[in-house]
Chain A
Amino acid sequence: MPDLLIELFSEEIPARMQAKAADDLKSRVTNGLVEAGLTYSGAAAFATPRRLVLRVDGLTDRSPDVKEERKGPRVDAPEKAIDGFLRGAGVARADLIERDEKKGRVFFAIIEKPGRPAAEIVADVLDDTVRNFPWPKSMRWGAGSLRWVRPLHRILCLLTREDGSEVVPLEIDGIVSGRSTEGHRFMAPGAFEVTGFDDYEAKLKRAFVVLDATERADAIWQDATNQAFASGLEVVEDKGLLAEVAGLVEWPVVLMGEIGEDFLDLPPEVLQSSMKEHQKFFSVRNPKTGRIERFITVANRDTADQGATILAGNQKVLSARLADAKFFWENDLRVAKGEKMAPWLTSLEAVTFHNKLGSVKDKVDRVMELARELAPVVGADVDLSAEAARVAKADLASEMVYEFPELQGLMGRYYSTAAGLPDAVAAACEEHYSPLGPSDDVPTAPVSVAVALAEKIDVLTGFWAIDEKPTGSKDPFALRRAALGVIRLVLENNLHLSLDRFIDAQLVRHKGELIDAVSNDEVTALVEAIAKHGVFGAAYRALKDARNGEDTTGLEAMNDALPDVSVDLLSFFHDRLKNYLRDQGIRHDVIDACIAMEGNDDLALLVARAKALQEVLSTEDGENLVQGFKRANNILTQAEEKDGVEYSFGADPKFAEDPTETALFTALAEAEARINPAMEAQDFATAMAAMAALRGPVDAFFEAVQVNAESEVLRRNRLNLLSSIRGVCLKVADLTRIEG
């Protein structure tokens, strides 16, 4: 049972690609070995900046012999067919055997494939792996044609047995496999030979290479936190940076340095970004003040001066970087304080948001208007919300955000504060981007909520207006994320707002810009009418009536363009909502039963209804009532179809014959008396409980009574009674959509 060791030694592999490359090497090689008939007991892959390494333990010596029987043509088949079969199977005519099958006598070929030695299989699999490696980006070099992430220099490929090790012979584009590798580029130059994994790992360590990335990362973190702790400080945790830095070094040496006094007053986020993005430094914080006071850099070597030269160099580079950051910060503060960010706001005119949706300034104007309309509904001050929307994108034009795009929003907060704007406005500059991811915090400050909603609805309606919706896995403008953002903003703040109204208003604004025939006055009039009537359709009809006789081409163009888009966008929201609720354990048929109800554009209401319904369906009464409802509905639907009439006249208790029938009348009256006010008050739990309470009387009724009685009067009255049951239940949710 030999062990296999593979090392692919190259020029420096980008840090971000190393972990996945190690995984890919492992899966591609081991899969290839298994497909070729070998087995193994364990495998592990490693990566450093200059090498990908795989060890496979307990590999079988050779693949087993395989005997395969292949069915051919009938013995009386034309010669051509038989020759073809012989060629395909690679056997001679004399080797064929004949056997009787259902359809006659048929040729069979017995193909024997002898097993292959492990070395041969490894060579084939490795050759294929190297030539087809899934690097995110690969290159050629010199005059060769092989592609690798950077020039590949050595292939080490060894099979190690108890009695020694053998090189697996292979050659890829001029690189011949061997047993040699190299250690640290500077601390241990030159090649050395190895005999197996243990020898390899030990010799590498002696040559100043720590093979395992996790070991490097742990060592870095350990040493960094120790050094910080010794100075009464703490390292700001950053797992991504730690992984990246571990991928930049083979022999990590942690060095802690000072940040110049001049820069300690920069916002901590600026210090952090500056140090992390450009220098890959960790930030070191004073836990008492929360200030970032030092940095940690990780060098790739020991030096005779204990890293003094390296640290001094890094410090110098950092000072130059921070001098830049400080220069940006001070310039920006001048614009923020002195000119209230006005030049930035103007320059947003020149920044294209999307070629069909205009500039960022156009977008800001639209978002401002929508934020005004949303403000009262979310409990925010109207003027503050509009002001926040106006300045929310100003920082995009600042020097700091140009240099550090990841600081957008946050710098807006600093600069708005510097401009003397109210805290609520400054906070909205930062928070209106949220929530970005599904685990991101949702803003709760009303002004932030108004702007966050307005911005997301504007983006969604905009891309719907130009018909650039997400398809399949393609969602280049992150519209699914925007819709989920709206859903979470509404639900987590328990906001009751009619989404239709705001979708329609913003669609009108977008379409107004896109359709030439629509005047600005018409857009304004429509938006006002939507605010009054709630949705576009009603607004359009009201305006059209009021303008009887006038030219209404613009209005009509809008009416042609808008309703379908609006309906489609709302159903997109519903789809996202279904996903979101499914993750919270709410059944999809329950959601469907609630989406089918009036007022489904009030997402908070929709969810409250769905939760109450799910709750009641989990009780025995609820579950059985649904069965009763369905039975009533089926009988009724059949009768209505047969008779061609609708039984909705209200049943009369005086025709009740059976006591269960009378009881049902009473129960229905009671249920209605409870359900109606509860629905008024949107108290779904009470309404659903009242509905579920019908279960007993309904079951008893079906048990005792034949609906389709012989007496036509009785039959009609009972059908009308069923209709009342259906009516009462459908007030609560569309139970026809409940499955099972």
Chain B
Amino acid sequence: MEQTVTKPKSFQEIILRLQSYWAGKGCAVLQPYDMEVGAGTFHPATTLRSLGSTPWSAAYVQPSRRPTDGRYGDSPNRWQHYYQYQVIIKPSPPDLQELYLGSLRAIGIDMELHDIRFVEDDWESPTLGAWGLGWEVWCDGMEVSQFTYFQQVGGHDCHPVSGELTYGLERLAMYVLGYDDGNAMPFNDPDAPIPLTYGDVFQEAEAQYARWNFDVADTDVLLQHFIDAEAECARILEQPADDPKTGRRIVMAQPAYDQCIKASHIFNLLDARGVISVTERQAYIGRVRTLAKMCADAFVQTKAGGFAA
């Protein structure tokens, strides 16, 4: 009944197995979104596609950035740039838990030896105006994934509800591959002619970004970028739905949402530079949330968002 699965040998093999597992379960395997984001949820394939009634099913790797987590490449388990693996299925299938457990088997976790637990953890993203209920999934006491049933996104009730799975790839890989120091784990096949570790790929850049994030980034320029992104987002959404040039109805939800993503990332950078006070913090988060809500409002006016002309 329980198939024995070989242990993966590298970070990339874990990603490849997840890709093929979820492809086998019918997900569209997407590529990362081409912008700086704080987490996989920001990908429009999750945020926007969880809105409206159109069914959706996707899986993808999303490189993510959290400037405040920078440790100059010195930490064994914290990087300002890291990877999340994201699965989003709408409506959430009744066997989503079983599908998820299957993915753990696929990357070599033997359910007969490990203790897998679903521990209450409600998810909330104040910047996206989103929340959901679910769990963090524990494997032998370690959080390996976040499992969420989206209830609201961008201020809109989700109906139907999307099921979202987020795997923190570095931590999961360190566990599966048996490494305490993430920088030392093999990125590609350790028997390859040119074996590379995770650290070979990222460690130096981590130091560079940490220095820039914490001390060098020009805060005046960033502040201006924030204001510009905020203004552009609003301007895009102010345009009439009917395009005067083509004569077609084109609601520009996604270009506007790009500006929202930008503003969110710039806020994270400003936060890392330590120029945002505790009281201002809430105000900034509120401003990004306003953008996210506007974009959500626009998305439900598109065909993908369930708008019927």
Hey, which bits of chain A sit against chain B, CB under 8 A?
A: 11-12, 14-16, 49, 137-143, 149-151, 153, 186, 248-249, 279, 281, 297, 299-301, 303-305, 309-310, 312-314, 316-318, 320, 350-352, 355
Contacts and interface: CB of A to CB of B under 8 A. Distances in A.
Contacts of A320: 77, 180
Nearest to A281: B141
B277 A279 contact: no
A305 B119 CA distance: 24
15 contacts: A15-B120, A49-B118, A139-B132, A140-B161, A142-B91, A142-B92, A142-B160, A153-B94, A186-B116, A249-B117, A303-B115, A309-B140, A310-B115, A313-B114, A314-B142
B278 interface: yes
B279 interface: yes
Q: Give the interface centre of A249, A300, A317 by most chain B CB atoms within 10 Å.
A: A317
B199 to A, nearest CB: 17
B140 A317 contact: yes
Given A142-B161, A303-B112, A16 B120 contact: yes
A407 B113 CA distance: 36
Given A139-B132, A248-B119, A310 B114 contact: yes
Contacts of A15: 119-120
Contact of B141 (A151, A297, A301): A297
Interface residues of B, number: 37
Contact of A139 (B111, B117, B161, B279): B161
A142 B161 CA distance: 5
Contacts of A303: 112-115
B159 interface: yes
A681 to B, nearest CB: 53
B135 interface: yes
Contacts of A310: 113-115, 140
Given A317-B142, A350-B277, A351-B278, A301 B115 contact: yes
B13 interface: no
B139 interface: yes
A202 B278 CA distance: 56
B126 interface: no
B112 A304 contact: yes
B117 A248 contact: yes
B69 interface: no
Main secondary structure of the interface of A (DSSP, over half): loop
Contact of B160 (A138, A143, A249): A143
B122 A137 contact: yes
Contacts of B56: none
Contacts of A249: 117
A586 to B, nearest CB: 45
Contacts of B135: 12
B76 to A, nearest CB: 8
A350 B77 contact: no
A11 B115 contact: no
Contacts of A304: 112-113
B159 A140 contact: yes
Contact of A186 (B111, B141, B149): B111
B140 A300 contact: no
Nearest to B157: A140
Contacts of A318: 141
B54 to A, nearest CB: 12
Contacts of B91: 141-143
A319 to B, nearest CB: 8
Contact of B149 (A16, A141, A297, A313): A141
Contacts of B163: 141
Interface in B137-152: 139-142, 149, 151
B97 A313 contact: no
Of all A-B residue pairs in the complex, the 8 with the closest CB atoms, nearest first, are A313-B140, A14-B120, A12-B118, A143-B160, A314-B141, A143-B91, A299-B115, A139-B133
A310 B142 CA distance: 10
Interface string B233-272: 0000000000000000000000000000000000000000
A21 to B, nearest CB: 13
B151 A139 contact: yes
B177 to A, nearest CB: 13
B131 to A, nearest CB: 10
B72 interface: no
B164 to A, nearest CB: 12
Given A309-B140, A317-B141, A137 B113 contact: no
Contact of A151 (B142, B149, B279): B149
Nearest to A297: B141
B165 to A, nearest CB: 14
Contacts of B151: 139-140
Interface string B80-104: 0000000000011110010000000
A367 B93 CA distance: 57
A720 to B, nearest CB: 68
Nearest to A149: B133
B175 interface: yes
Nearest to A360: B278
A204 to B, nearest CB: 19
B128 to A, nearest CB: 17
Contacts of A299: 115
B210 to A, nearest CB: 16
A299 B141 CA distance: 9
Contacts of A150: 133-134, 149
A212 B124 CA distance: 33
Contacts of A142: 91-94, 160-161
A316 B163 CA distance: 30
B94 A151 contact: yes
Nearest to A139: B133
Interface string B7-45: 000000000000000000000000000000000000000
Contacts of B116: 186, 300
Contacts of A139: 132-133, 149, 151, 161
Given A304-B113, A309-B140, A350-B277, 12 more contacts: A137-B122, A138-B133, A140-B159, A142-B94, A186-B116, A300-B116, A303-B114, A304-B112, A305-B113, A310-B113, A313-B115, A317-B141
B113 A309 contact: yes
A137 B131 CA distance: 12
Given A139-B149, A140-B161, A186-B111, A313 B175 contact: yes
A256 to B, nearest CB: 14
A301 B111 CA distance: 10
Contacts of A301: 115
B53 to A, nearest CB: 8
B160 A313 contact: no
Nearest to A313: B140
B114 A309 contact: yes
Contacts of B113: 303-305, 309-310
Q: Give the interface centre of A299, A312, A355 by most chain B CB atoms within 10 Å.
A: A299
A431 B122 CA distance: 34
A50 B119 CA distance: 12
Interface in B151-170: 151, 158-161, 163
Contacts of A137: 122, 133
